[in-house]
Amino acid sequence: MKSYLKFLLFLCTVLLMSCGDDKKDKDVDRITIGEEGTLKEMDINEENNSATDTTATSEDQDVVEVMLTGNDQMKFNLSEIKVKEGQTVKLTLKHVGQLGKDVMGHNFVLLKKGTDLASFAQKAVEFKSNEYIPEDSDKVITHTDMIGGGQETSITFKAPPAGTYDFICSFPGHYIQMQGKFIVE
């Protein structure tokens, strides 16, 4: 009887031990898989992030595209344009109205800091032959052509030093409604 009991005890112990070992092995396996999985996911994420960053660097920091529209109601779609210092700005002006250039012409004129808009616009009226850009003005940083309904025009220029500038449409009377801030950060 005693040896039979001992044998039972031995069996139980072996069974318990092996059960315990199985559990441990499984746990260990799971942890390993989990860690590997996590590591892989992290690696993939890091690769994706760095790839996105690289793309953002080449596109967003070097060249920025701005789409500005003007309509028959004498309105720009943007009252504020934000770019970063050193960026190359590709600005497209689109006239989404139907009226002609002679009655509802629009342009984009970027003015130097501190330009008095009223006096600049007043002067611009005298320069119809030059699409309302004063030829002798030192206030203009850059400007587009004057366009009419259905037309569009683009200019590419380097963003001026950080600061806040004004942009207007210099067609007679338009600057009152058609003006905005060009912010270089």
Q: Which residues bind Cu ion (CB under 5 A)?
A: 106, 169, 171, 174, 178
Q: Least distance (Å) from Cu ion to the CB of residue 70? A: 6
The nearer residue to Cu ion, 106 or 139, going by C-beta atoms, is 106
The nearer residue to Cu ion, 139 or 174, going by C-beta atoms, is 174
**Which amino acid is located at 20 in the chain?**
G
The nearer residue to Cu ion, 94 or 174, going by C-beta atoms, is 174
DSSP state of 96: -
Q: Least distance (Å) from Cu ion to the CB of residue 169? A: 3
Q: Which helix (H) or strand (E) holds 48?
A: helix 2-60
Q: Least distance (Å) from Cu ion to the CB of residue 77? A: 13
Q: Least distance (Å) from Cu ion to the CB of residue 47? A: 48
Distance in angstroms (rounded) separating the CA atoms of residues 113 and 58:
29
The nearer residue to Cu ion, 97 or 184, going by C-beta atoms, is 97
Q: How far is CA 167 from the centre of its chain?
A: 20
Residue position matching structure tokens 């746990």: 27
Give the residue among 94, 108, 104 at the shortest CA–CA distance from 72.
104
